[in-house]
Chain A
């Protein structure tokens, strides 16, 4: 098919129309609107960088951004450690390997909204009960402070996504030739040394994939935030995505919400591009 063939464009037209009308044009127009006083229906004037200037002094937005960065940082580490750990466990040729794989992966199939509601029950009712039984005061009053809300979100997200990251690591672990591990064993390497010097470097590409995935997922989380803490107490666990939704659709400040969304987009894009670049470079070096 050549560029001037009608069939080339016919085959492409449905997705081009959809991508253009759903993603590209709204993004471009959105960036434009963020410099105006657009209210969702129309705009009367350009206000330059006013929204962006306001955003720098918007404490609620800045604290949601900081909360999101901390959350993403902790979640990426926890998820990758757990994902790799689970992957190593289920690839040990255990009798229960397949069953365990099925179990660990299961929460992935259920939406963050529903899982968040289940965990809200666990953190509030079950933790409260356990605190009485076990005599651990720290299990009381979960989700009523910003710290317990933070760790509640980390636990929920890690439990939900660890199985997914596990699947990625399994794919790489299974591509390691047995002979390599056998050779290392013959040479007298202990299990830790075999992991450190053979397995680990060979699963390194999996870090590219899964760190990129977990970082951008953690950064964009909304459903879990809404259903587990709804940003509370006093908006202290509100993440950026939720702050943008709130600004645009609850306070009806469309253009201001859009300005926040542009900043959010830049964050996500920079993270993604850096991550891919950095990891690709590292892989080549090894």
Chain B
């Protein structure tokens, strides 16, 4: 076994690296062409720009109203995730510590709700929320709790089964209330699941387009919504469109760079369970 581990596979290694380069080529093409003029893109789409100018980026940044969109995206994503983590873990705790048939049925409803596609509810949902003036970011966050709690509860419930009941009982003897037991004893133990839930929901909510497009006004627009409007304004002006796309991707790349291990681990756990 030891010699096998050390052996190198030059053919596979080369093939892998070539495939990796091919995989990244869309990003390469986006970035190099974002530095060119529209005319240069038509003359030379594959090569490096003849002179690097940040003009496209400056204009795209301004027209995207990027700082505002970044702020909106960050607030909506962060608050939604905190709400999902808190309320889903509480609910999963209640369900896991209640062995009744009712509790099992409620869990089943949450799991079954994962099968309902968004399109099946979006028309009545937006109509209801519109009639009570909740088509805004507060309403959107509540909707994310509704759509996101199922998977979160499912993941928390799985983890809670392995947390011994004796911890709850010890806390109870010490005079802790239900909520204190949950908040000080149980919730900290669920940290790994909370990280998984946070990562899965960041990827979903940050990139979500259809739901916020039906709910948010222009002033509350997130990055994908701004990007959609921006792209529509600059059809066939690829130099600006590509600069805008590059800017829109930067926050995700930074996030990936710093949290790569947790992201891959979280996604893997979320999918396999």
Q: Which residues of A contact B (CB under 8 A)?
A: 1-3, 5, 7-8, 11-12, 14-16, 18-19, 21-27, 29-30, 33, 40-41, 89-90, 92-97, 99-115, 117-119, 121-122, 125-126, 129-130, 159, 164, 167-168, 170-172, 178, 182, 209-210, 213, 216, 219-220, 222-223, 226-227, 240-241, 244-245, 248-249, 254, 257-258, 261-262, 264-265, 268-269, 272-273
Cβ-defined contact, B16 with A100, below 8 A: yes
Interchain Cβ contacts within 8 Å, total number: 266
Partner of A119, one of B26, B102, B208, B209: B26
5 CB < 8 A contacts A-B: A26-B122, A89-B12, A96-B17, A111-B224, A257-B123
Docked pose: A220 CA to B208 CA in angstroms: 13
A141, chain B: closest CB distance, angstroms: 15
Where chain B touches its partner, the secondary structure class is helix
Cβ-defined contact, A264 with B203, below 8 A: no
Docked pose: A69 CA to B22 CA in angstroms: 29
Please give 14 more A-B residue pairs, beta carbons under 8 A apart, in addition to A26-B128, A107-B26, A126-B46.
A5-B178, A11-B182, A15-B153, A21-B142, A26-B121, A27-B121, A101-B264, A102-B256, A103-B23, A109-B252, A110-B249, A118-B30, A168-B268, A182-B1
Docked pose: A33 CA to B106 CA in angstroms: 26
Closest to A267 in B: B117
Docked pose: A170 CA to B179 CA in angstroms: 39
Query: Which residue among B8, B15, B228 has the maximum number of chain A CB atoms within 10 Å of its CB?
Result: B228
Cβ-defined contact, B127 with A93, below 8 A: no
Cβ-defined contact, B241 with A3, below 8 A: no
A18: chain B residues at CB < 8 Å are: 87, 142-143, 145-146, 149
Known: A121-B29, A272-B115. Is A111-B268 also a contact (CB below 8 A)? no
B110 at the interface (CB under 8 A from A): yes
Closest to A32 in B: B124
B260: chain A residues at CB < 8 Å are: 102
B153: chain A residues at CB < 8 Å are: 15
